[in-house]
Amino acid sequence: MLSVLILVVAFGALAVAGYQVRTGQWHATPVLSGSMRPGLQPGDVVVTQRVPISDLSVRDVVVFYPPNETARQTVHRIVKLTVKGGTTSITTWGDANLVADQGISSLSGTTAYRVVRVVPLAGYPAIWLQNGGRGLLAIGLGSILLVAALVTILRPDKPARPPRSPGSPGGPDDSPGEDKANPRRSSGGPHRATAA
């Protein structure tokens, strides 16, 4: 019963997280390089929250598209932030890099994605996908889900109390109609005469 409750809570948490991602409030991005070590490792996932650009500050870690790139997002720290003529520009730096990122990124729109959580190792499926391992990933995840479902369904329930030994009151040798208060007297069938 406890395992079913744990599964329900886990799926509920996933549903809430999925809703937040679907509505755009949260965003999950895999870390694909070591440029933010030691805090972020390749294979981690950063969970970001959509915040107003005006709430950003130096030292925040953000997910953004570098200048002239629209296909690859970067997860780096803001080291300089300027607002000029209504446009916010940021200079970023990977914690493990020797120099700041080339170019200044101008943030468009009214919101940006700031890192709020790190989920270690959860990004390895994204790395496998990036390296062309879609089939292996699908088989692996499907197998894990199948095994989890089978274990939950097929595992016998634990008895509420330990089984009694044969011959003890309430044990396996008792007949259904036996009077538990007086073992000499049976409630079913003809009564046997006993010598007094």
* Prediction pTM value: 0.59
Q: Is residue 184 part of a domain?
A: no
Task: Evaluate whether 45 touches 31 at the Cβ level (below 8 Å).
Answer: yes
Residue by residue, pLDDT tens for the chain (196 residues) are 777 788 788 777 777 766 766 677 788 888 989 999 999 998 899 999 999 999 999 999 999 999 888 888 999 999 999 999 989 999 999 999 999 999 899 998 899 999 999 989 887 776 666 666 666 666 777 788 888 888 888 877 666 666 666 666 655 555 555 445 554 544 454 444 445 4
Domain that holds residue 141: 124-154
Same domain, 136 and 107: no
Q: How many domains does the chain have?
A: 2
Query: Could you report how far apart the first and last alpha carbons of the chain are, in Å?
Result: 52
Length of the chain: 196
Q: How far apart are CA 50 and CA 66, in angstroms?
A: 18
**CATH number of domain containing 57:** 2.10.109.10
Q: How many helices (H) and strands (E) does the chain have?
A: 3, 7
The one-letter amino acid code at 172 reads P
Q: Is residue 164 part of a domain?
A: no
Same domain, 25 and 78: yes
DSSP conformational letter for 167: T
Same domain, 100 and 128: no
Q: How far apart are CA 192 and CA 127, in angstroms?
A: 80
Q: Is residue 181 part of a domain?
A: no
Q: Is residue 7 part of a domain?
A: no
Strand (E) or helix (H) holding 117: strand 111-119
Task: Evaluate whether 119 touches 44 at the Cβ level (below 8 Å).
Answer: yes
Q: Is residue 170 part of a domain?
A: no
Same domain, 51 and 115: yes
Same domain, 137 and 113: no
